[in-house]
C-alpha cells in the first residue's frame, strides 16, 4: 500500500512539473533547468525546458547494450516535448535529462535512471 502511494505521488508530481494531464504511473527527474518524466504504461518520455536561459534541453535514453538516443527540446522556456519509445513490455530503459550548455561549457545532466517498461 505504501509503495502504491509513493508511485501515485511521483506520477502526480511529474504531471505537475510537465503540465501533463491524465496521471498514470510515472518516473520523474528534476534537474536545474530541465524536468523529465517516463510513463511506462505508454512508453512515453517527456522533457520540459524549465528555465528561461536560452539553453535548450534534451533527454537521452537507451536499452541494455543499445545505442544512446536523444530527444531534443529546442522550443524554449516552459515547452514540453515527448516521444513514444519503440519497445516492448519488460524492456529496461536507462534515461536522463540534460541542459545543452554552449561550448566550451559541458552539458549538465542528471544521473541515469533505470525503469522497466
Strand pairing class (26-31; 80-84):
unpaired
Q: Is the pTM for the entire model greater than 0.85? A: no
* Helices (H) then strands (E): counts for the chain: 1, 9
CATH assignment, 2-116: 2.60.40.10
Per-residue model confidence (pLDDT) at position 24: 56
Contacts of 3 (CB under 8 A, 6+ apart): none
Write out the three cell numbers for 40.
511506462
Per-residue model confidence (pLDDT) at position 89: 86
Q: Which of 37, 14, 11 is nearest to 24 (CA)?
A: 11
Domain residue ranges in the chain = 2-116
| CA pair distance 25, 19, nearest whole angstrom | 15
Mean per-residue pLDDT pooled into runs of 10, the chain (117 residues): 39 48 74 96 96 96 95 97 92 96 94 93
Amino acid at each position: 500500500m505504501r509503495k502504491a502511494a509513493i508511485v501515485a505521488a511521483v506520477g502526480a508530481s511529474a504531471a505537475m512539473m510537465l503540465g501533463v494531464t491524465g496521471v498514470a504511473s510515472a518516473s520523474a527527474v528534476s534537474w536545474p533547468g530541465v524536468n523529465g518524466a517516463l510513463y511506462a504504461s505508454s512508453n512515453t518520455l517527456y522533457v520540459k525546458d524549465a528555465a528561461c536561459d536560452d539553453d535548450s534541453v534534451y533527454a537521452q535514453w537507451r536499452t541494455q547494450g543499445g545505442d544512446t538516443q536523444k530527444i531534443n527540446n529546442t522550443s524554449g522556456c516552459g515547452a514540453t516535448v515527448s516521444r513514444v519509445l519503440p519497445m516492448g513490455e519488460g524492456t529496461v530503459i536507462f534515461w536522463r535529462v540534460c541542459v545543452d550548455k554552449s561550448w566550451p561549457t559541458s552539458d549538465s545532466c542528471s544521473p541515469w535512471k533505470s525503469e522497466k517498461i
